[in-house]
Amino acid sequence: MSSVYSFDADAGDIRQIKKVKEFIREFYSESKKLWYLAAPAIFTIASQYSIGAITQVFAGHVGNIQLAAVAVENNLIAGFAFGIMYGMGSALETLCGQAFGAKKLEMLGVYLQRSWIILNATAIPLTTLYIFSTPILKLLHQNPHISKAVGTFAVWMIPQLFAYVFTFPIQRFLQSQSKIYVMASVSDVALVGHVLFSWLFMLKLRWGLPGGAVVLNTTWWFMAVAQFVYVVSGACGDAWKGFSQRAFQNLTGFVRLSLASGVMFCLELWYFVALILIAGYTKNAEVSVDGTSICMNISGWTLMVGVGFSAAISVRVSNELGAGHPRTAKFSVVVATATSLFTGIILGLIPILFRSRYPPLFSKSSSVQKLVYDLIPLLGFTIALNSLQPTLSGVAIGAGWQSYVAYVNIVCYYLVGIPIGLLLGFVFNKGVKGIWYGMIAGTVVQTIVLIVMVLRTNWNKEALLAGDRIKKWEADPQPVEYS
């Protein structure tokens, strides 16, 4: 009996080893697919985010008021519009991704054109936010000198708003087909040119903020035009066959999904933008706004890694669900979650280890530098915590859960995080640190809720829902008419 038992035990060990080896092999295979999408997506979104941040850096060398003006416009005015445009455009991540997985390539171009129509219609009323930004900020009791400078700069930046309209849908269109290296190349070229011309116009020629506005608008329109030329050049095959009348069909349903996507993303983006707005109510508002915005810039740069993973996992999940592969979609989520969390922990340690190096890069003011130095430990923890959240949001986008996550964000961010931050910051006199502690509390609760949602997901059911969604959004069985 002992020999038989020993044989069975050995056989069991061998089976376990084989299972472990198979898991490692599958994990490695999925990791390659994930990084193939995530790496260029990270470069793309980091380059685009850095464009505004670079302008802010140069503005800091022009003066403190100029720095505050660009920081508030970037994070509040343009940030508000960016969130709406980027979020509404993310409806294409669900629709184009699942259609591509189901081999319904002809629908990708139709979806892209529908998104352009809806985003243009949305951008027109948003221009009022730019035009009336000074009275809006004064109504919110922001510093009057900063509000006036922000209002002037915001009017100059209206062309950037309409560049968002075309850029973000095209990126989702390309992303769903795994053509992310094209996006990365265009963004990287734009970033290099932006740094050079920002230095030339803002500092060398001493044009200040007007020069920064000219360069910033030009950079964004360069990206929009370059990507559009690539799409219409025929490089996307059956995914783009020209302009179609079907773009005007089923717009009501498309608007609903776009709005759900926009609300979901905006609630996440505005949550940390609110930190800068609330900082404007603290003592010595100019220093608080400058110091907080610098930390948010650093956090934003590292958050781009998480956003890259979000883009990658949304493509993987939507493609696999559209193709009817629920098991693969589920395994993709496991790999992406583990990878993004590990990466976030590493990134969170970097600002803590080099905390004395960052402040002088952004401001000449010793008061601003000291505040940034004090906030760095909180920044490092935030970076590590936020590493997981974008990946989980990417899963939601790939599966089409935008409306559910929007409700989660409202409760966790705005009914938990901000009230706790206000309580700690103003009632207990903890200032910017207290406000930030509250924001972290909201993020922790939201992350836990999203993890529970993913763990309870029936992926077989999600694959069936994806198939139904593709049929619904085809609009009609007639042949596509192109011009």
pLDDT in tens, 328-350: 888 999 999 999 889 989 998 88
d(CA 10, CA 2): 12
pLDDT, position 214? 93
pLDDT, position 161? 94
Q: Is the pLDDT of residue 159 over 90?
A: yes
pLDDT, position 354? 80
Mean local confidence (pLDDT), 198-207: 87
Give the phi and the psi of residue 482 in degrees, each rounded to 5: -115, 155
d(CA 390, CA 38): 12
Q: Three-state SS across 373-410?
A: HHHHHHHHHHHHHHCCHHHHHHHHHHHCCHHHHHHHHH
Mean pLDDT value across the chain: 83
Mean local confidence (pLDDT), 135-150: 83
Residue 85 near residue 286, CB atoms below 8 Å: no
Number of Cβ within 10 Å of residue 468's Cβ equals 9
Nearest to 311 by CA among 291, 279, 336: 336
Mean local confidence (pLDDT), 441-460: 89
- pTM here is 0.78
In the beta sheet, which residues pair with residue 244? 482
Residue 216 near residue 157, CB atoms below 8 Å: yes
How confident is residue 483, by pLDDT bands cut at 50, 70 and 90?
very low
Domain ranges, ordered by start, for the chain:
32-473
pLDDT, position 11? 53
Q: Is the pLDDT of residue 213 over 70?
A: yes
- The residue type at 73: E
Mean local confidence (pLDDT), 64-73: 80
How confident is residue 14, by pLDDT bands cut at 50, 70 and 90?
low
Number of Cβ within 10 Å of residue 204's Cβ equals 11
